[in-house]
Amino acid sequence: MSEPITNALTIDVEDYFQVSALAPHFPREQWDAVPCRVERNVDLILALLEERGATATFFTLGWVAERYPQLVRRISDAGHEVASHGYGHERASAQTPEQFRADIRLARAVLEDITGRAVVGYRAPSFSIGLANLWAHDCIAEAGYRYSSSVYPVKHDHYGIPDAPRFPYRLDNGLVEVPVTTMRWMGRNWPAGGGGFFRLLPYAVSRWQIRKVNREDRRPAIFYFHPWEVDPGQPRVREATAKTRFRHYVNLERTEGRLRRLLADFRWGRADEVFRDAA
């Protein structure tokens, strides 16, 4: 019997008020006045991982790291990878190359100063590297990162490159792009890497998708979620559109239980280790 595949578990460390869809309700200049819940939520995730003996990659905002350096050290000291989610959760597609380069360099410097370890991974907020801003990959490589996980090869109303490779690939500049996992079915790519779909659909769907990728493609999956997704007690933004409220709040009370099942059903590790040969 072959050895079970180790998949990569990733957490995008941002707070509920930093989500792109809620941006109109939480102006960036007012973030310091909004009560944060990220520390409590990340500590819960760290406890879940410790229970299962699993490791993960935490793509962390520089903004969060500056305000909670001890939290970032706890992540690193527990054996997890600290990677970059940029500094201020600004979509790559909303920045000029100069702005983007400054953002990702600052985030890397903040994280490395806190942990004392090299930061080699980056993920763009909202998977915001698409066909219109592929130049961002050059900026990421120039900033010293070795891999990016910023492309989702699906069709979505806010992101995605449906025709991008489904598995890690090396760019001409040497950077390795590690796309979030998709499942090939009925002639198209279907999201299989977590996020809102993990909350919306029954857990059995995610389990089936990951098993299919592991068994049929013989590849590790890369799965993601956010700390605010284990926090059903977070403040509700009643002024948000019905679509946004549904996407953000659906099944928050079930996420922790589903994560426990996910951690029990599969073997999980850090992205930099799972995809070491690719990077």
pLDDT of residue 162: 84
Confidence at residue 159, expressed as pLDDT on a 0 to 100 scale: 65
Q: How confident is the model at residue 243 (pLDDT cuts 50, 70, 90)?
A: very high
What distance in Å separates the CA atoms of residue 215 and residue 58, rounded to the nearest whole number?
26
- Domain range summary for the chain, segments of one domain joined by +: 6-274
pLDDT band for 66, please (50, 70, 90 cuts): very high
Instruction: Please provide residue 10's backbone torsions phi and psi, each rounded to the nearest 5 degrees.
Output: -130, 145
**How many percent of the chain have pLDDT more than 70?**
97
Segment 134-154, tens digit of pLDDT: 999 999 999 999 999 999 897
Whether the pLDDT of residue 279 is over 60: the answer is no
Please spell the DSSP secondary structure of 171-218, one letter per residue.
-TTSPEE-PPPEEEETTEEEE-SBTHHHHHS-HHHHHHHHHHIIIII-
> Residue 160: pLDDT above 80?
no
The contacts of residue 3 (CB under 8 Å, 6+ apart) are none
Q: Calculate what percentage of the chain has a pLDDT beyond 90.
A: 89
What percentage of the chain's residues is helix, strand, coil (to nearest 5)? 45, 15, 40
- β-strands 182-185, 169-170: how paired? unpaired
Q: Residue 122's CB: how many other CB atoms inside 10 A?
A: 29
* Average pLDDT, integer, range 249-269: 97
* Pairing status of strand 6-13 against strand 222-225: parallel
How is domain 6-274 classified at the CATH fold level? Answer: TIM Barrel (3.20.20)
pLDDT at 184: 87
Higher pLDDT, 23 or 257: 257
At 108-118, the pLDDT tens digits run 999 999 999 99
Given this model, what pLDDT does residue 187 score?
81
So what's the pLDDT on residue 186? 77
- Report residue 223 CA to chain centroid gap: 8
| 4-31 pLDDT, tens digit each | 899 999 999 999 999 998 999 999 999 9
Tell whether the model's pLDDT for residue 155 goes beyond 90: no
For the chain, first and last CA: distance in Å? Answer: 28
158 pLDDT above the threshold of 70: no
229-238 burial by CB neighbour count: b if 16+ within 10 A, else e? Answer: bbbeebeebe
The answer to whether 72 and 84 have CB atoms below 8 angstroms apart is: no
pLDDT (tens digit per residue) in 32-53: 999 999 999 999 999 999 999 9
DSSP E strands, the chain: 6-13, 57-60, 81-84, 121-122, 147-148, 169-170, 176-177, 182-185, 188-191, 222-225, 267-269
Orientation angle between helical segments 69-77 and 97-115, nearest 10 degrees: 70
Mean pLDDT of 207-219: 96
